[in-house]
Amino acid sequence: MIDGLDAIALATLAGVPRVALCDLVSSTMDEANDLAEQDAPSGTVVIAERQSDGRGRFGRRWSSEPGMGLWMTLLEREVEPSGLGVLSLRVGLAIAPVLDRFVDAGVQVSIKWPNDLLVNRRKLAGVLIEARWRESTLEWVTIGIGVNLIVPLDQPAATALVEGTRRSDLFRAIVAPVRAACAASGQLTQAELLEFSARDAASNQLLAEPTVGRARGITSTGALLVETSMETVQCRRGSLVFA
């Protein structure tokens, strides 16, 4: 149970067909993919108390101990393939204003390309997207979201939501915006690009990676723009590291 609510109550609270509550899993992504193989419906959510092998991009470990945060994965089967390339950014844009309500007053959550959410340059949350294809058909997408409620001891550079935040309140607030992001099609809109610009953690900052230069925003396809000594390049892979 979470905050006294069982899986059925949580599903009703968030307006989803199913919530799977787990004490311990390797990762909520793995569990959601397993449920997808068993024909779990679109909108199924997996929430874990603890992940033994929680992961981020490139297989990086995500600390996820009991009571320390909200560790969840959403299964979606009706994702528009044309929006898949920007989905991580789109989900970040969807949940950033939600997280604003759970941090200190006057503080805005920022987005670090391509999938982290920060407060004062300290990591608050992360997004991981995985897609399952069968030949040329997109069968399903899993959207993993981890949000710190308490700063992990092994991640002193991280940050967390305000004390007393209830996981059930956070869960209810996050699900609908994320599902709406999954239903969107195509490249990032002008409104989304403006919103990203307002929340860009790297705006005009010097970078060491993915290439040395100064961050100059993103494109509608989600590429990071970096101004080097020679030209402005588009980076589509890698992680952003400040110089």
Give residues with Cβ within 8 angstroms of 64, minimum separation 6.
48, 50, 51, 54, 71, 146
For residue 115, the model assigns a pLDDT of 93
Instruction: Provide the CA 153 distance to its chain's centre, in angstroms.
Output: 21
Give residues with Cβ within 8 angstroms of 160, minimum separation 6.
69, 124, 148, 149, 150, 151
Cis status of the peptide bond prior to 152, with omega within 30 of 0: no
Q: How confident is the model at residue 153 (pLDDT cuts 50, 70, 90)?
A: low
Report how far apart, in Å, the C-alpha atoms of 14 and of each of 10, 19, 81, 101, 240 are.
6, 9, 25, 17, 33
* 92 exposure class (CB count in 10 Å sphere: 0-12, 13-18, 19+): buried
Tens digit of each residue's pLDDT (9 = 90 or more) over 37-93: 999 999 999 999 998 866 555 556 655 677 789 999 999 999 989 999 999 999 999
Q: 61 versus 105: which is more confidently predicted?
A: 105
Q: CA 127, CA 195: separation in Å to the nearest integer?
A: 18
Q: CA 16, CA 36: separation in Å to the nearest integer?
A: 15
For residue 110, the model assigns a pLDDT of 98
Token readout for 203 is 């705006």
For residue 52, the model assigns a pLDDT of 82
Q: 125 versus 62: which is more confidently predicted?
A: 125
* 52 exposure class (CB count in 10 Å sphere: 0-12, 13-18, 19+): exposed
Is residue 68 within 8 A of residue 25, CB to CB? The reply is no
The average pLDDT across 143-169 equals: 83
The average pLDDT across 146-175 equals: 84
Residue 160 has pLDDT above 80, yes or no: no
Cis status of the peptide bond prior to 66, with omega within 30 of 0: no
| Mean pLDDT over the full length of the chain | 92
Report how far apart, in Å, the C-alpha atoms of 142 and of each of 34, 71, 91, 99, 212 are.
11, 13, 12, 21, 32
Q: 56 versus 104: which is more confidently predicted?
A: 104
Tens digit of each residue's pLDDT (9 = 90 or more) over 180-239: 999 999 999 999 999 999 999 999 999 999 999 999 999 999 999 999 999 999 999 988
Residue 163 has pLDDT above 60, yes or no: yes
Q: How confident is the model at residue 164 (pLDDT cuts 50, 70, 90)?
A: confident
Q: How confident is the model at residue 151 (pLDDT cuts 50, 70, 90)?
A: confident
So what's the architecture of 7-191 in CATH? 2-Layer Sandwich (3.30)
Residue 18 has pLDDT above 60, yes or no: yes
Give pTM, 2 decimals: 0.92
Tens digit of each residue's pLDDT (9 = 90 or more) over 168-179: 999 999 999 999
Identify residue 173 by its one-letter amino acid code: A
For residue 154, the model assigns a pLDDT of 62
Identify residue 171 by its one-letter amino acid code: F
Q: How confident is the model at residue 123 (pLDDT cuts 50, 70, 90)?
A: very high
Domain ranges of the chain: 7-191, 202-242
User: Would you say how long the chain is, in residues?
Assistant: 243
Is residue 57 within 8 A of residue 50, CB to CB? The reply is no
